[in-house]
Amino acid sequence: MPIDRVTPRAALGIFVLWLAVVGAGMGALWKYAQTPGPAAKAPDLWPKSSRIARDTRQPTLMLFAHPRCACSRATIGELAILMAHVQQRVAVHVLFYRPSRIDEGWTQTDLWRSAAAIPGVAVDADEDGAEATMFGSTVSGQALLYGADGRLRFSGGMTSARGHSGDNDGRSALTALLMDGGSAQAVGTPVFGCSLRDLSAP
């Protein structure tokens, strides 16, 4: 039908249909952003077989990330904010998943560089996710805090949704745990991110 022959009723119908399609799409995106990944099955005690040396003088924070997960940009940003408040109170290791059959350049992304630029943060590749498996982590953005005694103090994420920056329970809990021996309101929070072993990311 030529556009100049579209009746007002037909135009209204097209507009309503367009609104429904847009609304459904936005609803799906919102649901995706608000859906956390599987919770980590982290060991209560630091695994003795881990190749990461646990700091015995202060807590150690482990953060597992996918080098190409867009959602995790917010997590790295939240880590930078956390470290600005808790410098020299925690040893931090960010481990980026790297399949052994893919060259190292696949892992050396802007996320890697951003994490490495944060003072006090050590960054390394986790070949085939060996460390992530040991620590029961499957989602990018999973943070685990172990005390100087090797006991698990926190397990969760540092964002309130996929790719969402801003105040969140995870960062607040970690800050409370690390500052002046304070007690956190939560020891576990949802993790929003890609699967650590997702090879479909560009």
pLDDT in tens, the chain (202 residues): 455 566 766 655 665 555 554 444 444 333 344 566 788 899 999 999 999 999 999 999 999 999 999 999 999 999 999 999 998 999 999 999 999 998 888 999 999 999 999 999 999 999 999 999 999 999 999 999 999 999 999 999 999 986 778 899 999 999 999 997 655 555 889 999 999 987 765 5
Among 107, 19, 35, which Cα is nearest to 71's? Answer: 35
pLDDT reported for residue 132: 97
The tokens describing 168, both together, are 């969140």
pLDDT reported for residue 153: 94
- What's phi and psi for 63, nearest 5 deg? -130, 120
pLDDT reported for residue 147: 95
What are the strands, taking DSSP E only, across 75-146?
91-98, 121-127, 142-146
Q: How far is CA 67 from the centre of its chain?
A: 11
pLDDT reported for residue 110: 96
